[in-house]
Structures are given as structure tokens and as C-alpha cells.
Homo-oligomer: A and B are copies of this chain.
């Protein structure tokens, strides 16, 4: 249903906000009216933050992470283990892993997964730079932290074949019942796989 709005300026701003993912026209209107209540400097700071971001953001030349500079803060950090690379699909995955504060290696962002159905082949992904990293740097371990779906499995398989002869340890993150997760609420596939791939008990 067409939404009545008393102003073209308002209508235009609502249109723009309604293009954001998960934001409908009612929510868009609420956000825009909230912004409108603030003073002009605050509104300009909001708008400029996104203009500046788009204009000046870089992609790290080593790992493909978002960065203010040519090399991201993780790749330029000497305290991190640059000989371990965790392969992720996108930068949201980096943020999720960094949130845990347990991983101290580096990353490599593929920018997607191999998906013949969607027409995404290896050449569309950030794989060439990974091979260059592996060839030029001293890499000990590569960890696959990709989704466990068809695309994720295909990508892991493809990469493992590429890296086979490089004498690098290849691992993948553990899958199973979540910590604190109730067995009865765990989906059947996860539960079945977690029994198959059980590990030795250590107290």
C-alpha cells in the first residue's frame, strides 16, 4: 500500500532508508523522523560518516579485510602469528571471531564461496592472493572457517587441493553440539555428526 507522506524531501529520505536490508517503510519513517529531531550538526555527522566511509575505506592488500590503510591492523600487527591463516567468507566472520579474543593468527577473506548455481567460480574469489601469500610467506597452518553447506564444502575441497603440495597443515574449525546447548534442541544433522566425529574424553 502506498504510504502518504506530506513532503517530497521526507518521502525521498524514507525511500533511501527503506532500501536498507530488513528496513520496511514504517521503520524507515521512524528512523528518518528520529534523525529529523536532532540538530543539523548531528544529522550531518551521521550522513558524513557514511560518505567518508565509502570514499576512504580500503581493502587490505594482504588479507582482503576492510581497513583504513593499505594493510589492515591485523596483518600489520607483529604480535599476531602471521604464519597461521584463517580462511573466512566475509569480514563479518572476522568480526565474530575477533569478538571471542581467542584467535591470534591472521585471516584471509574470500569475499564469497564457490557456487556454480550463482555463477561464482574460484576466479571471482580472493584466492589468487592467498596462493601468493602461501608462496611468498612462511605459512604453517591454514584453518578453514567456512559455512557447512554445499558452497562451503566445495570451497574447502577446492582450496585443499590447491594447497595439497605446499606442506602446510590444513585444519577446520570444530563442529558439533553448541557449548551449553541442550541435546534435545540440537538439530538431527549436527547431533548425528557430533556422535560420528566424537573426540577422546579428556578431563
Contact = CB atoms under 8 A, between A and B. Distances in A.
A52 B45 CA distance: 13
A49 B13 contact: yes
Given A13-B49, A34-B21, A29 B65 contact: no
Interface stretch (A66-74, A113-121, A161-169): A66-74
A44 interface: yes
Q: Can you tell how many copies of this chain the complex includes?
A: 2
Interface size class of A (residues with CB under 8 A): 35 or more
A124 to B, nearest CB: 15
A94 interface: yes
Contacts of A35: 20, 50, 53-54
A178 interface: no
Contact of A36 (B23, B32, B53, B65): B53
A119 to B, nearest CB: 17
Interface stretch (A3-11, A152-160, A180-188, A190-198): A3-11
Interface string A38-72: 00100111111111111111001000011110001
A30 interface: yes
B40 A31 contact: no
Nearest to A40: B54
A188 B43 CA distance: 43
A10 B66 contact: yes
Given A4-B98, A6-B65, A32-B50, 4 more contacts: A7-B68, A7-B73, A9-B52, A36-B57
Interface of A: 1, 3-10, 12-13, 15-17, 19-23, 27, 29-36, 40, 43-57, 60, 65-68, 72-74, 91-92, 94-95, 98-99
